[in-house]
């Protein structure tokens, strides 16, 4: 689990990192990066946008591979892919007795490292890659004989959770949810582009692709205040024979593999004692509590003073929770497949051990709990939206009732003043020339009658409530008198 702990109530934006050549469009990328680099001043902003455009040109040229009529999949021995990124790679070998030092690798040193013999004491090997680069994927695919369809899925970074079983390995693609600080991420992103050429195209999960109002939404989203957002990226997992695990993160999986590496280098942990590569796949990211705190904070503000702009905030939360449910929901099915997995091709060595299936039951329960929480919070946000409209309607009705009360009071006076204010002859309207006291003698009784008639329902409620109060008081006195008599006797 990867959690971000903050004493303050964190607020979140759902965003998506996408490296898929089929999803990136040049115009949308320029517009999105104009908003991403809004906090960078002058030359730095221009430099960041320019280098991101260069990265997009590399990705757009890769579309030529996926042409109609070609064989499915990508054969690394015959195809060249123009996608080059400086990746962060490490290899961790361990067994129950010892854990070797983590070997830090680069794009250039990976092939030479794979040619070296694996340590005889190593029972499990884990190779992790941060970033997607063709030279790295090609080296891994040729060395471990990865299936062409799995290679194609890795390069496309398809935004769906799936599990494919091949003869010698299992391929898993799932969405990784992490809580990220946007200010730090923007600085890291700018440095990575200048040094590594890595592209981080963040798109709104609520609407795939570019939207003309993306700048407006980005500026007005409630979660901008604490600079946190939920980043969604694809992670590709290859579970091979001989207890080898390959993980390829689309951008950066540091929040996932750091705690796992610490467990590997601690003796007597489950990963060390079991010596099973399938246990390394047990990683589900939880960022749901932050939404729960945010909804509770909004609910408190709504009960004190509901405002119309609260509905905008609740609408954004409801939409983002819906998308989180859509992206996290398929993980339940994937975990169920892993629990029920049977190796059809490998009778001698099971890729997923029985003990790993046991722990996948806990992962399945955790996924179900998260999805249930998402359903509950979605319903709460919808009910809060309805409550806002109901309370605003109630306040409007109360204001209208006050206005009606004033109208009831002044309507008779207005009518009588208009009647006696006419300029007629004394012979026809002699009352016009009587003293002013005559006007008040007519106005006051008329106003009282109109007021009583207009507020009849209110007066009847008050009178009935007062009568019920008198009856209750009389009954209480009678009960007290009866108790006094019983106690005296």
What pLDDT, on a 0 to 100 scale, did the predictor assign at position 354? 59
Q: What is the pLDDT of residues 106-147, one digit of tens each?
A: 888 888 888 888 777 777 788 888 888 888 888 888 888 888
Domain CATH code at residue 234: 3.30.460.20
Q: What is the pLDDT of residues 47-96, one digit of tens each?
A: 666 655 555 555 544 444 555 556 667 777 777 777 788 888 888 887 76
Residues 282 and 417 occupy one common structural domain: no
What pLDDT, on a 0 to 100 scale, did the predictor assign at position 195? 36
Q: Using CA atoms, how far apart are residues 85 and 199, in angstroms rounded to an integer?
A: 9
Q: Is 120 within the bounds of a domain? A: yes
Q: Using CA atoms, how far apart are residues 245 and 221, in angstroms rounded to an integer?
A: 39
Q: How confident is the model at residue 38 (pLDDT cuts 50, 70, 90)?
A: very low
Q: How confident is the model at residue 431 (pLDDT cuts 50, 70, 90)?
A: low
Q: Is 98 within the bounds of a domain? A: yes
Mean pLDDT within 253-273 = 70
Q: What percentage of the chain carries pLDDT values higher than 90?
A: 0
What pLDDT, on a 0 to 100 scale, did the predictor assign at position 408? 73
Q: Is 181 within the bounds of a domain? A: yes
Q: Is 69 within the bounds of a domain? A: yes
Mean pLDDT within 225-229 = 52
Whether the per-residue pLDDT at 29 is higher than 50: the answer is: no
Whether the per-residue pLDDT at 21 is higher than 60: the answer is: no
Looking at the structure of the chain, the number of domains it has is: 2
Q: What is the pLDDT of residues 356-411, one digit of tens each?
A: 665 666 666 666 767 777 777 777 777 777 877 887 788 788 888 778 777 777 77
Q: Is 476 within the bounds of a domain? A: yes
Q: Using CA atoms, how far apart are residues 35 and 211, in angstroms rounded to an integer?
A: 12
Residue finishing a domain among 287, 303, 324: 287
Q: How confident is the model at residue 16 (pLDDT cuts 50, 70, 90)?
A: very low
Residue finishing a domain among 287, 308, 335: 287
Q: Using CA atoms, how far apart are residues 281 and 277, in angstroms rounded to an integer?
A: 8
What pLDDT, on a 0 to 100 scale, did the predictor assign at position 351? 60
What pLDDT, on a 0 to 100 scale, did the predictor assign at position 455? 72
Q: Is 392 within the bounds of a domain? A: no
Residue finishing a domain among 242, 265, 287: 287
Q: Which of 225-239, 349-363, 431-445 has the lowest mean pLDDT?
A: 349-363
| Max avg pLDDT among 173-182, 319-328, 330-339, 391-400 | 391-400
Q: How confident is the model at residue 209 (pLDDT cuts 50, 70, 90)?
A: very low
Mean pLDDT within 22-35 = 41
Instruction: Give yes or no for a contact between 121 and 95, defined as CB atoms under 8 angstroms apart.
Output: yes
Instruction: Give yes or no for a contact between 320 and 206, defined as CB atoms under 8 angstroms apart.
Output: yes
What pLDDT, on a 0 to 100 scale, did the predictor assign at position 449? 79
Whether the per-residue pLDDT at 437 is higher than 80: the answer is: no
- Give the structural domain span for 429: 410-488
Mean pLDDT within 185-213 = 40
Q: Is 361 within the bounds of a domain? A: no
Q: Is 258 within the bounds of a domain? A: yes
Q: How confident is the model at residue 28 (pLDDT cuts 50, 70, 90)?
A: very low
């Amino acid at each position: 689990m990867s959690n971000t702990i903050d004493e303050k109530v964190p607020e979140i934006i759902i965003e998506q990192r996408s490296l898929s050549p089929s999803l990136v469009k040049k115009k949308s990328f320029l517009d999105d990066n104009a908003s991403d680099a809004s906090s960078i001043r002058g030359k730095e902003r221009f430099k960041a946008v320019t280098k991101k455009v260069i990265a997009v040109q590399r990705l757009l040229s890769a579309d030529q591979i996926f042409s109609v009529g070609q064989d499915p999949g990508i054969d690394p021995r015959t195809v060249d892919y123009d996608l080059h990124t400086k990746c962060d790679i490490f290899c961790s070998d361990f067994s129950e007795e010892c854990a070797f030092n983590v070997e830090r690798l680069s794009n250039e040193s990976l092939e030479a490292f794979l040619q070296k013999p694996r340590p005889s004491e190593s029972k499990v090997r884990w190779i992790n890659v941060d970033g997607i680069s063709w030279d790295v994927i090609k080296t891994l695919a040729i060395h471990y004989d990865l299936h062409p369809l799995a290679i194609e899925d890795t390069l496309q970074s398809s935004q769906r959770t799936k599990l494919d079983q091949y003869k010698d390995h299992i391929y898993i693609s799932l969405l990784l949810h992490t809580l990220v600080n946007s200010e730090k991420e923007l600085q890291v992103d700018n440095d990575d582009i200048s040094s590594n050429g890595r592209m981080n195209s963040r798109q709104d999960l609520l609407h795939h692709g570019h939207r003309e109002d993306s700048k407006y939404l980005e500026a007005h989203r409630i979660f901008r205040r604490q600079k946190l957002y939920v980043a969604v990226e694809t992670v590709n997992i290859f579970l091979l024979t001989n207890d080898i695990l390959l993980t390829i993160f689309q951008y950066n999986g540091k929040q996932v593999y750091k705690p796992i590496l610490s467990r590997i280098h601690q003796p007597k942990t489950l990963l060390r004692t079991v010596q099973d590569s399938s246990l390394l796949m047990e990683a589900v990211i939880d960022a749901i509590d932050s939404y729960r705190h945010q909804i509770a904070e909004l609910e408190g503000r709504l009960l004190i003073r509901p405002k119309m702009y609260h509905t905008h905030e609740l609408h954004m939360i409801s939409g983002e929770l819906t998308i989180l449910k859509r992206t996290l929901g398929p993980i339940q099915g994937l975990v169920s497949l892993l629990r029920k997995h049977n190796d059809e091709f490998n009778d001698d060595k099971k890729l997923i051990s029985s003990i790993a299936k046991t722990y996948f039951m806990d992962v399945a329960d955790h996924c179900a709990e998260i999805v249930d929480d998402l359903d509950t919070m979605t319903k709460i946000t919808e009910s809060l939206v309805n409550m806002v409209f109901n309370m605003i309607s109630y306040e409007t009705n109360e204001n209208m009732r006050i206005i009606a009360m004033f109208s009831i009071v002044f309507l008779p006076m207005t009518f009588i003043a208009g009647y006696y204010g006419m300029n007629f002859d004394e012979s026809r309207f002699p009352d016009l020339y009587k003293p002013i006291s005559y006007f008040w003698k007519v106005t006051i009784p008329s106003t009282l009658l109109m007021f009583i008639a207009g507020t009849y329902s209110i007066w009847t409620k008050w009178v009935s409530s007062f009568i019920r109060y008198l009856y209750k008081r009389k009954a209480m006195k009678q009960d007290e008198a009866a108790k006094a008599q019983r106690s005296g006797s």
